[in-house]
Structure 1
Amino acid sequence: MHRKKYTVDELVQNPSFRQMVKGTASAEEVSRWNDWIEASDQNRAKARQAISEIAGFEFDDPARGDVDEEVEWSRLYEATVGKSDTKIQQQYIQGRDSSAKWWYRVAAILILGSIIGAGLYLYPETDKVSTGVEQITREQTVRTDSGEQKTIRFSNGSKIILNSNATVTYSLGLLHSQTIEVTLEGEAFFDAESKSGENEPVFAIQTPDGTIRDIGTEFLVSVGDDYSRVILQEGTVEVTPREPVNEDRRIAVQKGEMLEFNRSEVLKKQGVNATFYTSWATGSMEFDKTTVQEFAGFVEQRFYVEVQVADPDLAEIRIDGAVYFKSLEGLVRSVSDIIKIPVYQSEDRETVYIGDKVGDPRTEQ
C-alpha cells in the first residue's frame, strides 16, 4: 500500500481510510495506513486534508517547543483511547518517528470527540489545555459577488447555497451531531440532513432579528434591512426573535409557510409556494393551479425584470406541473411549453412578454 498513489478525493471515499479516521479500523488496517503516510511528506499532506474533510476539523503538526509533547500526548491517550477497548494499541505510538507519532496522536482524538471544547482540547483531570491540534470551531466566512452563487457542503450531508451579494459565517464541531452555527447577511438556502433520533438541529442561523433552528428540513433565509424572512420547503423550523415581547417566544414554521419577523415580533406569516422562492437554489419550480399573474409577479421579484401580460384574460390561466431550469431563459421556455402560449424576453432581456404582442420584434426562447 505504501507505494500506491492516492488523491485526496480517493482517500475521502476509501472505506478503509474512513474507518481508520472514525476509529473503527482494525489494528492491521491502521498499521498499513501508517506505513503509507510515513512514505512521503506528500502522503502526509494528503492524509491531513482528507481527515479534515471526513471529520470536519484541521490540525497542525505538533512541532512546537514550548511544551513536552510526549507527556501531553500520553495524557491525551490515557484520557481517550487508553480508556476504551479500541484495537489501536499504545505500542503503535512507541518507537516510531515524529510523523507516525503525529498520526496516532490524531487517531486518539478522532476516536473520542466528547472531550472537545470550543476549539481547545481539555483534559478531564486538570484545567490544562493542549492546542497542538486545532478544531475548525474558528469562524469560516464565505462571500458572493453580484451574479455569483456558492455551495458549502458539510461531511454530514448538509449544505448551504449562498445567493449573490451575500455573506455567511459558520463554525462547526467535530461530531456530526453538533449544531452548525451560522451568521447570515443576504440570502441562503439551507438543506439540513438530519438522522432520525438526533435531537440537536443541524443549523442555528443568527440574523440581526433572531435565531432560526431547523428540524431536518429545506428552507430559505433572507435578511433585509429591517426584518428577516424564512420560507420553509420541507420539515419544520423554529424561530426566536432576538428581543421577544414574551419571555419564551418561539415560533414554529411549517412546510409551505413564509414568516417575516423583526427583533421583537412577527410581521407576517402566510402560506406560499415555497418553490417560487427556492428555485434559484434548487433549479426546480412546482405549480399547483398557479395563475399566470402569480407567475408574472414571481418573475419580476426574483429576476428584476418587467413582465407584460399581453391579454388580461391570460392572467387567470392556471399552471400545473413542475419545471426544471438553470436560467430565466430556461424558465420562460418551460412555462411556454406548459401553457402553450408564447413566453419570451425582449432583446435587451429587461422585459418578459406573456402572449403575443403586436409589433414586438421578439426572439422566442
Structure 2
Amino acid sequence: MADASFRSWVKNNDATAAAFWESWIERNPEKLHMVEEARGLLEMMDFNPGGPTEEEMKEVKGNIDRILLQIKTEYIAPERPVRRIKKAYYWAAAASILILLTAGWFHYIYNAPVKVSTGYAQTKQVTLPDNSKLILNANSTITYSKNWSNSSAREVWLDGEAFFEVAKAPHSAAPKFSVHAGTINVDVLGTSFNVYHRKGNIAVVLEEGKVALENNTNHQREIMQPGQMMTWDTHTFNRQPVNTALYTSWKDKRLVFENKPLSEIARMLEDNYGYRVAFKKKELETLRFTGACSTEDINILLANIKEVFELEIIRKDTTIIFQ
C-alpha cells in the first residue's frame, strides 16, 4: 500500500502508526475485517517466481491505495473534524475495497508458487501442471506456478539437479517450456534432458529431442542435439558428446561411473548425501574409477573404491576421509 501510516504499521511495526490504527479499530470495530484483509494482502505481496506479475498486481494495489487514502482522509484524519458522508457512498467504498481485495487474493492463490524440495539421499517424482514429469535428485529444489495458462511460458526454477520429460503443451498452456538454472535458461519443445545446477556449476545433458540454451546476461544462445552435454563456464558454452546414461542413471536409482576422478565422486557424495569428503593426499583426487552401485547403498561404492585402489577409507559421522 502507498499509505505510509498503514505500511509502517504492517511492515515496520511502527509504534506511532500501530497506536493510530489500533485506536481507530477500537472506535470502528465493524471495519476490522476490512483492515485485516488489507493487512493480509499487503503481507502477501512479495513477488515470487510463478506468482502474480508486478503489472497484474500494480493496478489492484493502486486502487486499494486510492480508496484507503480517501477513507482515511474523510473518516479518520485526527487533525480535522470527522465529516459525515452518505451511507450509500460509505458502503460503495467498502464494497470496492472488498471486491479488490478478494480479486487480488484469489489471483494470488490461483497463481501461488509451488516449491518442492528433497533431502540428502532422497529423490522425488513430480508431475507439473501440464503433465510433464520430472525426477528431482537429492538436495534439490524446484519452484513453479501452481497453474499454467496459454498466456505465459511454462516455467520451472531449479537449484540442484532434475531429469525432465516434457509433454507437448495442452491447449490450456503455452507451447514454450523453460527451465531456469542460475544464469542459464533451457528452452524446450518436448524432450528428455537432465539439468545440473549447483554452486554456480551448470550442465545440461540432452537424452532426446531438442533444447535451446540461452545465457540471460549476454544472450548467447546454443541449440543442443541428443547425446550432447553443454556446460557453462561463466563466459561461454562448452559442448561435448557424452554417454547420457552416465549422467541420468541416478533417476533409476543407479550410480554409474566411467573413468571418473575421485574428486568428482567426492563432490557427488557431498551434494547428494551431505558428506564432507577429504583426501589425505592431493594425488588421490585424480585417481579414476569405473563402476556402478545403487543410490541407496553408498557403502558398496566406498567398498569398491577401497578395493580397486587399495585405499583406507575412514567414515566418522558425516565425514569421509580417503587415505
TM-score, normalised relative to structure 1:
0.44
Structure of greater relative contact order (alpha carbons < 8 Å, 6+ residues apart): 2
TM-score, normalised relative to structure 2:
0.49
Structure richer in helix, relative to its length: 2
